[in-house]
Amino acid sequence: MSKITFQKPGNFVYPVPPVLVSCKGVDGQDNILTAAWTGTVCSDPPMAYVSIRKERYSYHLIKESGEFVINLPNERLVRAVDYCGCTTGSKVDKFEKCRLTKGICSTVKAPSVEEAPVSIECKVTQILPLGSHDMFLALVTAVQVDERYLDERNVFHLDKARLIAYEHGAYRSLGPVLGTFGYSVKKKRK
């Protein structure tokens, strides 16, 4: 095996979760933005981030309101994910165009996307200018999950939600489980 070095460095941390970021401006205008630069920052306190270009319509809505919702889409929402990443909310109501339902959140004024299996309510704690994108660092204030993925013991089964991934221009389904946490060091039963 041999590797070559690309002439121009870039981000090759793939796959990533494409998410639907819903927000509400101080003027009451709702919008949805597709973002792939997002993730977990800390578990205690629970924190997440989303990085957005300044020229995106949602950037100013989130900056002004100080809140947003990260909605994890599944395979049924892949067309909406693509559409919300290719159009601007300044010209079209993406909720209406994609036939998505605005959900009511418990800790933020921004709507959730009801059709998403998971909605993570976030309040911005810091905006970090990083170059092409600014990172909105946020405290997770609530998480909503679709009851369809709860079992009789109220255990949430995210694996049954059929979440999607984004990899270098393509949306992909997640494949079969290859192992579980700790399986490589687990002692074998005698």
Looking at residue 178, what is its pLDDT?
Answer: 87
Looking at residue 33, what is its pLDDT?
Answer: 97
Looking at residue 187, what is its pLDDT?
Answer: 79
Tokens 């036939």 found at: 99
| Residues forming a β-bridge with 138 | 48, 124
In a domain, 30, yes or no: yes
Helix (H, G, I), strand (E, B) or coil at 63: helix
Please state which of the ranges 10-14, 103-107, 171-175 shows the lowest mean pLDDT.
Answer: 10-14
In a domain, 141, yes or no: yes
The residue range of the domain holding 131 is: 19-173
Q: Residues 66, 52, 61, 142: is their CA dihedral positive or negative?
A: negative
Closest CA to 113 of 105, 102, 98: 102
In a domain, 182, yes or no: no
In a domain, 45, yes or no: yes
Which CATH number fits the domain that encloses residue 132?
2.30.110.10
Looking at residue 184, what is its pLDDT?
Answer: 87
Q: How many helices (H) and strands (E) does the chain have?
A: 3, 11
Looking at residue 46, what is its pLDDT?
Answer: 98
In a domain, 7, yes or no: no
Task: Look at the chain and report how many structural domains it folds into.
Answer: 1
Looking at residue 26, what is its pLDDT?
Answer: 92
Confidence of residue 4 (pLDDT cuts 50, 70, 90): confident
How far out from the chain centre does Cα 71 lie? 5
Question: Which is more confident, 177 or 112?
Answer: 112
In a domain, 186, yes or no: no
Phi then psi for residue 115, to 5 deg, are -75, -15
**What six digits make up the tokens of 7?**
């002439």
Assess contact for 79 and 93: CB atoms under 8 A: no
Looking at residue 5, what is its pLDDT?
Answer: 86
What's the DSSP call for residue 51? E
Looking at residue 176, what is its pLDDT?
Answer: 86
Q: Mind listing the pLDDT tens digit for each residue in 83-138? A: 999 999 999 999 999 999 999 999 999 999 999 999 999 999 999 999 999 999 99
In a domain, 14, yes or no: no
In a domain, 133, yes or no: yes
